[in-house]
Structure 1
Amino acid sequence: MFTGIIEELGAVAAIEDKDDSAVITIDAKGLVADLGLGGSLAVNGVCLTSVRDEASSPPGSFTAEVQGPFTAEVMGETLRMTGLGALRTGDRVNLERCTPTSGRFDGHVVQGHVDGCGELLSRDDHAEWSTLRIGIPNRLAPFTALKGSIALNGASLTLIAVSEPTEPDAWVEVGLIPATLNHTTFGDISPGDPVNIEVDVLAKYTARLLSFGTDPAGPAQSGPAQPAASAETTTLFNSTEPTRQGADHD
């Protein structure tokens, strides 16, 4: 589990493309000094598993220039359904280690299981802060709320505006202070760039419970049926299709 507090800006050191996957090596500086084989790191909000050994890494990944190498195998589904597929060598990425039991909980519950990929629609830079509008998949709109939490490229952010249910294309807006812009990849993001989206897990579980129309703590109620989630919400969380894209492990 993560909290969406970005700890470090890393850089893509190497990418080895395979048939339907890729091996990505990140220069994570000192963040992964004690992260061994099987450890977790959120890269732009995607929970990836370390395969940290030279035998499984692309040639040239482990060099003196790469201060802290983190190597992960990324399957094709993750590459297609998140912004990781658009990464190139040298690109900067947001990094967060998993939350220790003794750590502070400064953001919100972030699983590293990306729900979909959106894109930056517009950016308004004000004197002391910036407003970003991100287009999101319509199926995720029911899980967004004004002043609610969302993880964008792994960063825990508060929504300052959301699209209306009647609008044909869903979007959300966030306001970013200079500290966030300087400490994350949002400082140099441009319209059209992909953005990994993970909606609030509490909203997802609420929708899942409502989709059954029964009280999970007791027998089915004899009164009027409970309100059900929308058809596309029910499809998203009841389908047997892989809908929690972005996680290499659950």
Structure 2
Amino acid sequence: MFTGIVTAIGTIRETTQQGDLRAVITCPWDPAGIAIGASIACSGTCLTVVDRGGSPGDAWFAVDISGETVSCTPAGRWTTGTPLNLEPALRLGDELGGHIVTGHVDGVGAVVGLARSGDSWRVDIAAPAALAPYIAAKGSITVDGVSLTVNVVADQPDGTCRFALNIIPHTAEVTTLGALAEGSEVNLEIDVLARYLQRMNSLRG
């Protein structure tokens, strides 16, 4: 489990296609604190550490990425040089600063609008029809591993929806969201509570 509070930005240093895709990701952590078998959210995707090394402040860890994961995340996400939002798994006693996040990507959204809003950026994202019922104004959503609050939702005639959120300067600086542009694709994870509420409502129907 995670909270959607990013603690570092990592970069894919290299990839190799074995049975699965193996990626080596650099990060500014101490390798001694990265356990083999640990879970790390990489731009919202929960992956398992299979190797690690480096030195304090200049560490790296390796993960295996299944074909299913590659198919459920944005095209080109797992290529050399790609920056990733990193968050280690939540530990008992840690502060729940964002919201409960599982690290399971529910779908891919696309940035369809960017505009200044005070010192922040308003970002409009198009979400697929399968996720539209779970996205609500003032609800939580995870975008590329970052816990954010939905400002408004606009349902579309084809069953999809567009939602808007604000990226404050701090979030833009410490995550990859500051580099978003129109057309950028992002991992989306809906609020786990919304998932269960929708399921209960469907059974009542």
- TM-score normalised by structure 2 residue count: 0.92
Q: 1:84 to 1:156 in 2, by over 3 A?
A: farther
Q: Is structure 2 residue 111 aligned with structure 1 residue 120?
A: yes
Q: What are the superposed Cα offsets for residues 20-60 of structure 1, whole Å, 9 maximum, x if unpaired?
A: x310111122165412211000000000001015xxxxxxx
Shift of 1:129: 0.6
Of Structure 1 and Structure 2, the greater helix share is in 1
Q: Is structure 2 residue 38 aligned with structure 1 residue 47?
A: no
| Matched length | 205
- For residues 159 and 122 of structure 2, the distance between their equivalents in structure 1, rounded to whole angstroms, comes to 22
- For residues 46 and 24 of structure 1, the distance between their equivalents in structure 2, rounded to whole angstroms, comes to 13
- What 5-or-longer segments of structure 2 have no aligned partner? none
Of Structure 1 and Structure 2, the greater strand share is in 2
- What 5-or-longer segments of structure 1 have no aligned partner? 54-61, 214-227, 229-250
Quick one: which of 148, 153, 162 aligns to 1:171?
162
Q: What are the superposed Cα offsets for residues 160-197 of structure 1, whole Å, 9 maximum, x if unpaired?
A: 11122646532211101100000110111111121000
Q: What does 1:84-123 align with in structure 2 at a 5 Å threshold?
A: 85-123=76-114
Q: What are the superposed Cα offsets for residues 107-128 of structure 1, whole Å, 9 maximum, x if unpaired?
A: 0010001101111112113440
Q: Is structure 2 residue 5 aligned with structure 1 residue 2?
A: no
Q: Is structure 2 residue 203 aligned with structure 1 residue 204?
A: no
Q: What does 1:56-67 align with in structure 2 at a 5 Å threshold?
A: 67=58
Match of 1:17 in 2: 17
- Runs (4 or more) in structure 1 with deviation over 6 Å come to none
Instruction: Give the RMSD, CA atoms, in angstroms.
Output: 2.1
Shift of 1:209: 2.2
Letter in 2 for 1:129: S
**8 Å contact from structure 2 (residues 156, 162) kept in 1:** no
Match of 1:130 in 2: 121
**8 Å contact from structure 1 (residues 146, 160) kept in 2:** yes
- For residues 167 and 179 of structure 1, the distance between their equivalents in structure 2, rounded to whole angstroms, comes to 35
Letter in 2 for 1:212: L
- TM-score normalised by structure 1 residue count: 0.76
**8 Å contact from structure 1 (residues 33, 68) kept in 2:** no
Shift of 1:88: 2.3
Letter in 2 for 1:26: I
**8 Å contact from structure 2 (residues 70, 78) kept in 1:** no
Greater gyration radius: 1
Moved more, 117-126 or 74-83: 117-126
